[in-house]
Structures are given as C-alpha cells and as structure tokens.
Structure 1
Amino acid sequence: MIDPRQFRDALGHFATGVTVVTTIDAEGQPVGVTVNSFSSLSLDPPLILWSLAKKSYSLAAFEAHPAFAVHVLASDQQHLSDRFARAGTDKFAGLTPGEGFAGVPVLDGCAAAFQCSTEFRYDGGDHLILVGRVQRFTTRERPPLLFYRGRYATPETEAAQPFAGLLRAMAPAVA
C-alpha cells in the first residue's frame, strides 16, 4: 500500500514551474486557479496539458468553458500564486486582466502565457486532465517561479541552486 503523504513528498523531488490558469464561468465572471501540473504535450499540433482536482470550486467553469489561459509565473509573482491558490476569495480584485482568446482573462507580466481552446478532457483519478490547443502565446525574458519540495524557489534561492545553471543554459532555447 502506498502512503499518500510519502508519495506526495516523493513527487516533490521533481521541480515544477508555477502557473495560474484562467477561464470564465457560466455567468461570464473570471475564474483562476494556481496549478503546477502544467506540461507541454505536442509541437504539431501545439498542445499543452494540465490537471485540476475534482474537488476544486473552479472545476465546473473549466468543464463548461471551451477555452483557458495558462500563465507561467515569473520569479517575482509569488503573490499571484498565493492569491489564486486561495479558495473563496475574489481572486481578480484589484487586477486588470486583458481579454484573450474566447474572452478568457489574461494576466500581464508573466514569463509566458498560453491561450488555448480545450481539445480534450480526461478522467485522471482525483483530477480532471485538460488538454489545450494553443491558439496564441506570449513570452518575456523573466526567470521562472519554481516549486520544489513543498516550497517556492527561484533560480536565485538555495533550493534551486542545483538547477540555476541548467535554467540559464535553457533560457535562450525556451524564449
């Protein structure tokens, strides 16, 4: 039997980027959630994927709306990650997002943003897996916000030092 806490801790050894995924709900209101389950899937066609807990308050909006945007947060945007990770608050209070593909809110200043149409939705145990076809994207030369072993990290922090050289080496290829 696999202990869920030990399994989660083991998964924490994989450093991930931190993203905020946005869409709009049935009433046309912006919805957003912090996610670190983002991944590239295909270059041709341009597909990405991410997953959302089935117990998430935002699930209905992502199941119903045909589009979403994934925002790769920059190292100085931990405040956005924290804001969109909280349940039951007006996550967009004080923000002025742009309007993206299919009316989806787009946050400014992120390292990258991918505006997608929803291509597929799959059952993934306690999560819903969403595959998006990238319709538009933007990038900026900004270091990423990382999540590693249960805490935030940036290329400048001690937790990310083993990855700093790799991130610097990858930067021209990723941009």
Structure 2
Amino acid sequence: SMSLDSREFRNALGRFPTGVCVITANPDGYEPFGMTVNSFASVSLDPALVLWSLQNDSECFEAFAKAKKYAVNILAEDQMQLSNFYAKKGDHSLQKEHYTMGRHGTPVIKGALTTFECDIWQRYEGGDHVILVGKVQAMLNSFETKPLVFFSGKYRELR
C-alpha cells in the first residue's frame, strides 16, 4: 500500500472546512457527558441518518460502547469556548449550565445551532475509529444563524 506521511495526511484532511459539534450522551452508569468532534456527516434522508467517528483510544470510548443514543449539537459561532472545553482531555462531564434534557432523553447543548437526537442505528469499524451511525428521532433548531467553523487547525469566521 502507498505509504502516506501521517502528519501530512492529517494536515491535508484539515483543509476540508467543517462545522464543530459536541456529541452528548448519558448512557446507564454515566453522568451526562460531551465530546467535541468535527467528523459529523449526513448519510440518508429516508431513513434520517447521520454519522460521526470516535477514536478507538478515546477516553469516551467505553461510555459510547454502552450508549444506545446520542445527540449531535452543531455549535454556533459564539460557542468557541464550549468547543474548547469539551475537547480537553480528562473530564467530559457536562456542566449544568451548558445543557438541558432533550425530547428524546439525551442531554442537549443550550444555544447550539442545531441538535439531532439520535438512536444508534449501526456501528462500523473504521480503522482506528468506530463510525457511529444514528437515526434522528428529534431535532431542534435555534435562531442563531452563524456556525462555528474549523479549517486548517483554526477556528474561522464565515462571512
């Protein structure tokens, strides 16, 4: 197989601008927690499916292994601090002031651009990640219109 320089590959992937999401969940035996990702994508309209990818060595791996559902919270431009907070190593517990309980029983981030509450539909092995496909059961859109954008390792502003 072609040998790729892994740093160069990572940097090249970073050239695809993305939104920023906090994935939230509250599986049995766990406090509500959140984890920042930019690996979110839409999959299907019918059924309504979305996906994101979780690193196999993630601190949250065991918790997501137990989870039956999760929420994808797409962050608004003014939520950079929140993105950084849930991207940190160590404690991923949701701060009381950051979330409320959604209609489908998952914690959801207050003020997010859009939230998709999902049941885990399928898990796929994806190399050093697991791909978590979710079936959207409820969604919430805010009045905020500007997303938090990530490109080449930095937050950007959408003009």
In the superposition, the TM-score normalised over structure 2's length comes to 0.92
Matched residues, number: 156
Which structure 2 residues correspond to residues 24-35 of structure 1 after superposition, within 5 A? 24-35=26-37
User: Which residue matches 2:59?
Assistant: 57
Q: Indicate if the aligned counterparts of 1:113 and 1:138 stay in contact, CA closer than 8 A.
A: yes
User: What SS does structure 2 have at the residue aligned with 1:82?
Assistant: helix
Task: Provide the residue aligned with 1:119 in structure 2.
Answer: 121
- The separation in 1 between residues aligned to 2:134 and 2:92, in whole angstroms, is 25
Q: Distance in 2 between matches of 1:112 and 1:93?
A: 19
Distance in 2, Cα, partners of 1:72 & 1:24: 18
Helix, strand or coil at the partner of 1:77: helix
Correspondence for 1:131 among 130, 133, 136: 133
Distance in 2 separating the partners of 1:63 and 1:27: 12
**Over aligned residue pairs, what C-alpha RMSD do you find?**
1.4
1:90–1:13 CA distance, 2 compared to 1 (3 A): closer
Using the TM superposition, name which of 22-31 and 43-52 deviates more: 22-31
Q: What are the Cα deviations for residues 93-131 of structure 1, in whole angstroms up to 9, with x where unaligned? A: 352521125532111111100000000001011111000
Query: Given the alignment of the two structures, is residue 147 of structure 1 paired with residue 150 of structure 2, yes or no?
Result: yes
Partners in 1 of 2:141 and 2:104 — Cα distance? 20
Counterpart pick for 1:84 among 78, 83, 86 = 86
Structure 2 portions without partners, runs of 5+: none
Q: In structure 1, give the amino acid aligned to 2:67.
A: H
| Partner residue in 2 for 1:167 | none
- Write 1 or 2 for the structure with the bigger share of helix: 1
Q: Which has the higher contact order (CA 8 A, sep 6+)?
A: 2
Question: Which residue, 28, 33, 40 being the options, matches 1:38?
Answer: 40
Counterpart amino acid of residue 153 in structure 1: R
Q: CA deviation at 1:25?
A: 3.7
Q: Deviations over 1:5-61 (max 9, x none)?
A: 000111111000000001114324112100000000000010000001111111111
Do 1:18 and 1:81's aligned partners in 2 also have CA atoms closer than 8 Å?
yes
- In the alignment, does 2:24 pair up with 1:22? yes
CA–CA distance in structure 2, aligned partners of residues 69 and 54 of structure 1: 19
